[in-house]
Structure 1
Amino acid sequence: MRRMAGPILGLFLILAARELCAAPPASPDASPFPLPLEHYADSNRTSILEILRLRIAVDPFNLVASVIFLLAIVHTFLATKFMHLSHEWRDEHRAEIEAAGLTAEAKRQTDARADVSFKAEIMHFLGEVEVIFGIWVIPLLAAITFFKGWPAAEGYISHGVIFTEPMFVVVIMCIAATRPVLRFAEQCLSVVARLGDRTPAAWWLSILTVGPVLGSFITEPAAMIICALLLARQFYDLKPSLKFRYATLGLLFVNISVGGT
């Protein structure tokens, strides 16, 4: 029965999605979503609070979207707290399964795995910075569906948002992180680092000066990935001070932005 649960659930989700997508199109008289900026007529306002108050008065859904965006920002700042809590719960769970004999080594199966803590894994997932705004897209889509209806939500995702650039950035970043590209970039930068006998200082200077120039040729995201990975290998493995690490990372972002232009 458990084996059939997965396919049945998948079939149910497919049928549900099909029914949702088959919803009747929005009426031509319905207001567009989101409203065009010129519809708010707030070009003469200078205060952000005034602009926000006016836009909320025109369309109250702007308040809902602003609250969701604010919660996503707060979640970003709390990511380290989630990760710290995840590590605490994981250590506690590890001690519990060791006492109960539920570790992978204590089990008789050849391919056995240690029991995991579900709440620790959830906290770890919530602490991943790169997925935070993706997580909050779910309540945003639910709010759009609740307040504006599914046709508005489906139309916004299908036609209102252009995913070409983010998809391009993801593909470029994945390619830039591959071993051949990284090795080639490392060999090119090693020529510059050789002028300083390839010391950590020479690598640090070459990565932060020559590396960002690559943004003009292979896009800024790709240059950032390459420089970050090379810094991790040639500099961060030496465990410099925490302040120096953050300063280096900030300088990398600034140089990438300048070098890409």
Structure 2
Amino acid sequence: MPGNPDTLIQYVAAGLFALALIHTFTAKQFERLSHRFPRHAGLFHLLGEVEVVFGFWAVMLVIVLALLRGGDVALDYAESRHYTEPLFVFVVMVISASRPIVHAVLETTQALARLAPLPTPLASAWLGLAAVPLFGSFITEPAAMTIAALILAPQIFRRGIPECLKYFALGVLFVNVSIGGTLTSFAAPPVLMVAAKWNWDSAFMAANFGWKSALAVLVNASLATYVLRGQLARPEAGGAAEAEVRTTMPSSVVFIHAICLVAVVLLAHHPVAFLGVFLFFLGYTQAYERHQSPLIIREALLVGFFLAGLVVLGGLQQWWLQPLVSAMAPTELFFGATALTAITDNAALTYLGSLIEGISDEAKYSLVAGAVAGGGLTVIANAPNPAGVALLKRGFADESIGAAGLAAGALLPTAVAAAALILL
């Protein structure tokens, strides 16, 4: 069954996938129900967690498979999936959000912000929306998303700033992280899925994608910073980040954390190895606890659960996704991929495209360009997005990020990214 599911299972999986998408777009309503029905608030809070959605429906899929085809078939299917990416995102999210790493990045961005011919909060926000996403090409997109979210949370994603502005900033962040990882061949999940098969190395990515993406990132970040300039000028903006920079952090501790992060990135395709590094990292943080803040284990686990659920559900969507992708001309494929990315993970989309035999070079470019351009439209569009949601949702009303608000906020930066990738 794992390699050749029957028609009934395909339809059931597609139906559950559709329910998961509907659930994603209505998750905020469950948070509101938790206030109306406090007796069942725990259940509604659980169902209102966007990161839980795909994991929940993946469990439903396995249960349905067990009922329809037997427990062995269900387990065989679940075990046939590859969970390297969810594990990697979990590990890199925890390490990159550790206090020494965040301290080093904040110290660097604050130093650069002070050198810029702009008010420091303004320059710091711009660096968080531009420099950090581009840096994601070297530390991977999940790490960039985590660090950028931690930098921007006290400045932009806080009480007192209009929701529409926060959604616009969130859309810019998600789009910039999605396209900012295309300067290399290993940082962006949708690129990683096709790079080896299509022989795309980092030089190819920089020449064909990187400079265009960098230009779009700079435009988006500048636009968002300009729109938010009145809010960022307030004295409280950036206070938490500045307080962290003023603390003392031994360079040796920062060095060990950085080595762990680099090792995990280099071992991204070897889960046993990078999990071993992670275990060492956990031990080290316990040994030097005075230089640590609580690790974001819960948030990272939720994101990993989300991605693992996407892997399980997405594994049975190829029957309708692949024909849809293969039937499009390059230009249609670009816009089709951008739209499809909104309802399916862009790495899954490019992976399915890589299975198409005889696909032209133009179609390859269009598929990947469209996939990364649309990576900010929804939470599920790009693998690092759930990490951003987990870290930033407390700054929104009901501590929940609405799918409609995110899509609206991401429209303009998505258009900028699309224009850069298709016209330049």
Q: Shorter-chain TM-score category?
A: 0.5 to 0.7
Q: Following TM superposition, by how much is the alpha carbon of 1:238 offset from its aligned partner in structure 2, in angstroms?
A: 6.6
Count of residue pairs the alignment pairs up: 181
Partner of 1:175: 95
Contact 1:203 1:235 in 2 (8 A): no
Contact 1:211 1:227 in 2 (8 A): yes
For residues 132 and 65 of structure 1, the distance between their equivalents in structure 2, rounded to whole angstroms, comes to: 15
Contact 1:200 1:235 in 2 (8 A): no
Give the 5 Å matches for 1:1-261. Answer: 32-35=1-4, 59-90=7-38, 117=39, 119-158=40-79, 160-194=80-114, 195-196=116-117, 198-237=119-158, 239-261=160-182
For residues 162 and 223 of structure 1, the distance between their equivalents in structure 2, rounded to whole angstroms, comes to: 23
Structure 1 moving runs of 4+ over 6 Å: none
For residues 196 and 34 of structure 1, the distance between their equivalents in structure 2, rounded to whole angstroms, comes to: 58
TM-score, normalised relative to structure 1: 0.65
Give deviations 1:94-115, integer Å, cap 9, x for gaps. xxxxxxxxxxxxxxxxxxxxxx
Structure 2 stretches lacking a partner, 5+ long: 183-424
Q: Secondary structure at the match of 2:154?
A: helix
Name the CA shift for 1:213/1:143 in 2 (closer, same or farther; >3 Å).
Answer: same
Q: Following TM superposition, by how much is the alpha carbon of 1:130 offset from its aligned partner in structure 2, in angstroms?
A: 0.6
Q: Secondary structure at the match of 2:158?
A: helix
Larger Rg: 1
Structure 1 stretches lacking a partner, 5+ long: 1-31, 37-57, 91-116
Q: Secondary structure at the match of 2:153?
A: helix
Give deviations 1:141-183, integer Å, cap 9, x for gaps. 011112222222111122x101112101111011112211111
Contact 1:190 1:198 in 2 (8 A): no
For residues 163 and 84 of structure 2, the distance between their equivalents in structure 1, rounded to whole angstroms, comes to: 37
For residues 75 and 181 of structure 1, the distance between their equivalents in structure 2, rounded to whole angstroms, comes to: 35
Q: Following TM superposition, by how much is the alpha carbon of 1:198 offset from its aligned partner in structure 2, in angstroms?
A: 4.8
Contact 1:207 1:231 in 2 (8 A): yes
Name the CA shift for 1:198/1:176 in 2 (closer, same or farther; >3 Å).
Answer: farther
Give deviations 1:180-213, integer Å, cap 9, x for gaps. 1111111111122111455332222111111112
The share of aligned pairs that are identical, in percent, is: 41
RMSD: 1.8
For residues 122 and 31 of structure 2, the distance between their equivalents in structure 1, rounded to whole angstroms, comes to: 32
Higher relative contact order (CA 8 A, sep 6+): 2
